[in-house]
Amino acid sequence: MGSLHVNGFCLVPLFVALALLPAAGTAQSATPEQPAETTGHSSGPKTPVTMFPHTEHSRYFAAGQANIIFQANPPFHSPYQDTNSFVGRGEYKTSLVGTLYLGMQLNRNPRWNTDLLVDFESSGGRGLSQALGLAGFTNLDVVRNPTLGSKPYLARLQLHQTLALSSKMEANDRDQLGLATSQPEKRIEISIGKMTLPDFLDQNSIGSDSHLQFTNWTIDNQGAWDYAADTRGYTWGALAELDTENYSVRYAIATMPTIANGISVDYALRRASGQNVELESRHALFGDSKTTIRLLGFVNHANMGTYRMANRVALATGTAPDVTSTRIQGTVKYGGELNAEQELPHHLRAYTRLGWNEGQHESFAYTEVEQSLSGGMDYSLAGHNRPNDRIGLAFVSNAIKRDHQHYLALGGLGFLLGDGKLNYAREDIVETYYTAHTWRGLFLTIGGSAIFHPGYNQDRGPILVPSVRTHVDF
């Protein structure tokens, strides 16, 4: 693999330089967390956290961001590997994604605001082992099909409508998902078009942002939520949301990929679809510290195969199982999740996610996880005059059901996993980071992960993955 130490340090200045170029990016990532509005002492001068100031009063909106992630892993214990294994020899890779956010308010009445939102994205570089071999992969910005290249593409195209249910108004942060600076406290919001579902569902202020927080797929999102999406993480659909002071209810229906991890989607919703319902409660259960609890359920209909059927054919024929050969249109996959976060004293916050899906049918859109438990904390350095700096620590434990285990043990391949055989154990991951706000919209992050039983295989690993990240908002 060459001198990782030398190459790693030579690349860091390049990351900073590239991040300052206008680019477009967030493949497969959820909505970026908005950092604190200003830095410095409360009585001193205030500095924006974007490279260029944005007006709050224009009908039009233009912004963007670029994210560069460098990750590496040294060689690790790997007595065998196959087509979809995480490579044991050690390597280093860099991903670069960027997004250009554009919007226009078609109706500027905040009680009935209408936005047209258009985002263009580019995704370049690579992930370690081509994003194979881990259920909880280490870099959410990596597109799982590297042959797609870095050519810019349409990421989001949405019509966003707000419908007032009360006269009381509240302040709203203007961003790429909504352009009004105030909104009704009680309202209905409707979004229609091309979107990524984690922009709206399974959000978590501590673990949902691969740009300023954690980078692992199953920490930033619930791994057992096989949400409707193409290879890049996007889909076409509609979402309706009812918001009150302390509660929200969301429903989304979206197109499913035509094949597992495919770039094409099936537009016939009567034949294939992903349907999702989320309930959210926001209360202060412990003094004045806010508690947020979300319950999410999903049902997917698609042309999916069945692990048990593939295993039976393999045992009868003496060949490796192939779940794709058992696909039946209209197959149903379902699951649910608990997502909670808690504010704590002294600039601390904590969260947990617990998710499950039925696991009999093939993992189809997100990753190969059928049970996942994650949790973590972050700490703001606001008390040290660094309000936009954060330190985070999280863990996740992923699992698959018995039929899926047997499938991999017989030599079957999923769209991410397949070591040729399997000595099963839960895949356990720990990740930490420190994000420093350096100047205006420029952030630098150092972090790392430890992965135990990669791909659910206790014959391989553990794997250590240090990480350096540069992020710029403009």
pLDDT at 464 over 80: yes
More confident residue, 468 or 30: 468
Helix (H, G, I), strand (E, B) or coil at 155: strand
Q: What is the pLDDT of residue 7?
A: 33
What superfamily in CATH does domain 4-473 come from?
Porin (2.40.160.10)
Q: Where are the domains of the chain?
A: 4-473
Q: What is the pLDDT of residue 20?
A: 34
Per the CB < 8 A criterion, the answer to whether 349 and 287 are in contact is: no
Q: What is the pLDDT of residue 149?
A: 76
Residues forming beta bridges with residue 85, ordered by sequence position: none
Q: Nearest-5° angle of CA 164, CA 167, CA 171?
A: 80
Rounded to whole angstroms, the Cα distance separating 242 from 189 reads 7
Rounded to whole angstroms, the Cα distance separating 138 from 418 reads 17
Rounded to whole angstroms, the Cα distance separating 128 from 89 reads 11
**Arithmetic mean of pLDDT over the chain:** 90
Read off the pLDDT of residues 36-58 as tens digits, 9 standing for 90 and up. 444 333 334 455 689 988 888 89
203, two tokens: 């959000």
What average pLDDT does range 359-370 have in this prediction?
96
Q: What is the pLDDT of residue 46?
A: 53
131, two tokens: 């994003």
Distances from the Cα of 382 to the Cαs of 38, 41, 49, 273, 393, in angstroms?
11, 10, 15, 44, 18
Contacts of 66 (CB under 8 A, 6+ apart): 18, 19, 21, 22, 23, 24, 25, 96, 97, 98, 471, 472, 474
Residue with tokens 């094949």: 259
Rounded to whole angstroms, the Cα distance separating 257 from 255 reads 7
pLDDT band at 286 (very low <50, low <70, confident <90, very high): confident
357, two tokens: 């899906």
Read off the pLDDT of residues 58-101 as tens digits, 9 standing for 90 and up. 999 999 999 999 999 999 999 999 999 999 999 999 999 999 99
Q: What is the pLDDT of residue 370?
A: 98
Half-sphere exposure of 58 (CA within 13 A, CB side): 11
Rounded to whole angstroms, the Cα distance separating 136 from 278 reads 23
Read off the pLDDT of residues 119-169 as tens digits, 9 standing for 90 and up. 999 998 889 999 999 999 999 999 877 677 788 999 999 999 999 999 999
Q: What is the pLDDT of residue 90?
A: 92
Rounded to whole angstroms, the Cα distance separating 332 from 324 reads 15
Rounded to whole angstroms, the Cα distance separating 126 from 275 reads 31
Could you count the other beta carbons within 10 Å of the beta carbon of residue 170? 14
User: Could you tell me how many residues make up the chain?
Assistant: 474
163, two tokens: 């419908």
Q: What is the pLDDT of residue 145?
A: 75
Q: What is the pLDDT of residue 146?
A: 67
Residues forming beta bridges with residue 247, ordered by sequence position: 281
Read off the pLDDT of residues 287-328 as tens digits, 9 standing for 90 and up. 788 999 999 999 999 999 999 999 999 999 999 999 999 999
C-alpha gyration radius of the chain: 22
